[in-house]
Amino acid sequence: MTPRVVFPNKLLPYLLVAPQLAITLVFFYWPAAQALYQSMLKEDPFGLKSKFVWFDNFKKVLADPNYLHSIKVTVVFSVATAAVAMIVALLLAVMAEKVVRSKGFYRTLLIWPYAVAPAIAGMLFLFLFNPSIGSLAILLRKMGIAWDPVLNGTDAMVLLVAAAAWKQISYNFLFFVAGLQAIPKTLIEAAAIDGAREAKRFWTIVFPLLAPTTFFLLVINTTYAFFDTFGIVHAVTGGGPGKATETLVYKVYNDGFVNLILGSSAAQSVILMIIVIALTAIQFRYVERKVHYG
C-alpha cells in the first residue's frame, strides 16, 4: 500500500480535479441532460414551438413496431459482428503465434486495417460487393449465389456484418496476440507432456486463460457494434433495403436529422443510453467475476 497523500491546502485538490470535471460536465453531462430534457418535448417540424409532454415520446417509441424491429436488427447485427470479429481474430492470432519466421511482419500487416476509417471501410465493402460493379459480387454470382445486398435484406445484413467485423478484427487480433503471449510457455509444455494434443491444449489451457482478454473484447465489441457503426451503416446500406439494416443508432439519426422528429429521436437516444449502462453493468457484475485467475 502506498501511503495516502494528504494535501495541506483545502482548496488545491478541488482545483486539481476541476479541469477534468469541467470537461466531463460540458461534454458528457450537459448533452446527456439536454437529450433527457428534449426527449420529453414535443416540437413542431419547423422548431417554432414545443410542448412538455412527459413520457409520451417514450410510450410512442416503445409501441412503434418499426422501433421494435430496429431492436431486433441491432441485436442480430451486434451479436453477429462481435462473434465474427472475435472468432476470426482469435484464429488469426493463434496462427500468427505459430509462425516462426517474420512473426512481426505478419502481425503488422494484420493490424493495418484498424487504421482505416469506418466510412472508408464501408465504401470498400460497398464497391467490392456492389451487385452490378463489385468484383467480389461477380465471383459470388459465378459460384451460383444470388447475391444482391441492394434488394435482399439478409444479404445486406451479411455485407454490413462483414464490413463492421473486418474493421474490428485487427483490434481484437492485437489483444489476442498480447493475451497469448502472456500465457507462460511452460504451461503449454506441461500440458503437452500431460498428454494433451494441440486442439485439446487450446480448449483446456489456452482458451480458459484467455478469458480475461475475451471478456474485455466482448464488452468492447458489443459496444462497438451497438454504437460505433453508424458510419458503416450509413455508407454501406443507409439502413435499407426497407429498414432491414436499420440499427438503433442509425434510427436515432434518421428520425432526428432526416425525418426531424426530434422528441422521438431524443427519447431513442435516452433508451440507448440506458442500454449501454445496463450492458456494461451486467457484463462487469456477472461475467467479469468469473474470468480472472491471478
Within a 13 Å sphere around the CA of 270, how many CA atoms are in the beta-carbon half?
A: 22
Can you tell me which of 18, 127, 200, 280 binds other proteins, judged by CB under 8 A?
200
Tell me which residue has cell 456477472: 286
Q: Which residues pair with 52 in a beta bridge?
A: 41
Is 23 an interacting residue with respect to other proteins (CB under 8 A)? no
What is the rounded distance in angstroms from the CA atom of residue 202 to the CA atom of residue 196?
9
Sole binder of other proteins in the list 180, 191, 232, 267 (CB under 8 A): 191
Residue (20 or 186) nearer to other proteins, CB: 186
* Interface with other proteins, residue 34, by CB under 8 A: no
Q: What single-letter amino acid sits at 45?
A: P
Report the alpha-carbon distance of residue 266 to residue 289 in Å, rounded. Answer: 34
Among 195, 199, 286, 289, binds other proteins (CB under 8 A): 195
Place of cell 439519426: 253
C-alpha cell at position 198: 494441440
Q: Binding of other proteins at residue 98 (CB under 8 A)?
A: no
Give me the least distance between CB of 266 and other proteins, in Å please: 46
Residue 42 has phi, psi (to 5 degrees) of: -115, 130
Closest distance to other proteins from the beta carbon of 95 (Å): 20
Smallest gap from Cβ 105 to other proteins, in A, equals 17
Per CB under 8 A, 194 contacts other proteins: yes
If one asks whether residue 186 binds other proteins (CB under 8 A), the answer comes out as yes
**193 forms part of the interface with other proteins (CB under 8 A):** yes
Q: How many residues bind other proteins (CB under 8 A)?
A: 20
Which segment (4-12, 84-92, 183-191, 251-259) binds other proteins by CB under 8 A?
183-191
CA angle, residues 274, 84, 199, in degrees to nearest 5: 125
Stretch that binds other proteins, among 27-35, 105-113, 141-149, 204-212 (CB under 8 A): 204-212
What's the rounded Cα separation, in Å, for the pair 35 and 260?
15
Which grid coordinates are listed for 204?
Answer: 483446456
Q: Give CA–CA dist 49/39, Å, rounded.
A: 15
Pair 253, 230: CB distance under 8 Å:
yes
Q: Which grid cell is 292? A: 480472472
- 169 vs 191 by CB, closer to other proteins: 191
103: contact with other proteins by CB under 8 A: no
Contact between 293 and other proteins (CB under 8 A)? yes
* Residues binding other proteins (CB under 8 A): 184, 186-187, 189-197, 200, 204-205, 208-209, 211, 293-294
